[in-house]
Amino acid sequence: MKFTKKKILTLIILIIIFLIVYSPHLNNPFPIHIDEYHHITEAIKLKNGEYILKGTGVELGFHFFLLIISYLTNLTLTYKFLPAIWALISAITLFYIVKFKTKNLKNSYLIAIFSIIFFVSIKSNTNITGLWFFTPLTFSIPFIFLYIYLFSEGIQKQNKKLITASLIIIVFLIPIHSISVLFAIPFLIIYSLSNTNYINYLKREYKFFSIFIAVPILGILLYSQIMDLTIINSIKLLLVQLQFKQGWGVLELKNSFLELYSPIGYILAIMGFLYIISSRTKFKKYLIYILWPITLLAYILIFRLTGISPLSPYQRNLYYFAISLPFLSSLGLYSIIKIIKIKISNKTFYKTISLILIIAILILTFQSYYKIPENIRLYKTIDNNNYQALQFLSQFPPSKVMATAKISTAIFPITNKHKPVATLFFYGDRQQVENFFRSTDCQTKNQIITQNKVSYILSEKPINCNWEIIYNKNNNIIYKV
The domain locations on the chain are: 14-376, 384-480
C-alpha gyration radius of the chain: 25
CA distance 64 to 78: 16
Nearest in space to 353 (alpha carbons), one of 369, 368, 341: 341
pLDDT value of position 427 = 84
pLDDT value of position 90 = 97
Are the C-beta atoms of residues 29 and 384 closer than 8 Å to each other?
Answer: yes
CA distance 162 to 149: 9
CA distance 400 to 418: 6
CA distance 91 to 113: 9
CA distance 408 to 418: 10
CA distance 256 to 277: 27
* pTM for this predicted structure: 0.90
Are the C-beta atoms of residues 420 and 440 closer than 8 Å to each other?
Answer: no
Are the C-beta atoms of residues 160 and 201 closer than 8 Å to each other?
Answer: no
CA distance 86 to 82: 6
Mean pLDDT by 10 residues, the chain (481 residues): 76 94 92 91 89 69 93 92 96 96 89 96 88 95 96 93 93 89 92 91 86 75 70 70 65 76 95 92 92 94 86 88 96 91 82 90 92 79 92 92 92 92 85 89 91 91 90 91 87
49 φψ region: left (φ > 0), alpha (ψ -120 to 50), beta (else): left
Burial (Cβ within 10 Å: 0-12, 13-18, ≥19) of residue 204: exposed
CA distance 317 to 302: 11
pLDDT value of position 237 = 67
DSSP string, 106-124: TTHHHHHHHHHHHHHTS--
479 strand-pairing partners? 457, 469
pLDDT value of position 252 = 61
Nearest in space to 449 (alpha carbons), one of 469, 427, 432, 426: 432
3-class SS of residue 16 = helix
Amino acid at 306: T
CA distance 158 to 262: 37
Rounded to an integer, what is the distance from CA 369 to the centroid of its chain?
Answer: 17
CA distance 447 to 326: 56
3-class SS of residue 162 = helix
**456-459 and 419-420 beta bridge pairing:** unpaired
pLDDT value of position 268 = 96
The residue count for the chain: 481
pLDDT value of position 92 = 96
**476-480 and 468-473 beta bridge pairing:** antiparallel
3-class SS of residue 94 = helix
Are the C-beta atoms of residues 95 and 116 closer than 8 Å to each other?
Answer: yes
401 strand-pairing partners? 420, 456
Contacts of 192 (CB under 8 A, 6+ apart): 155, 198, 199, 202
pLDDT value of position 226 = 67
Are the C-beta atoms of residues 386 and 262 closer than 8 Å to each other?
Answer: no
Burial (Cβ within 10 Å: 0-12, 13-18, ≥19) of residue 161: exposed
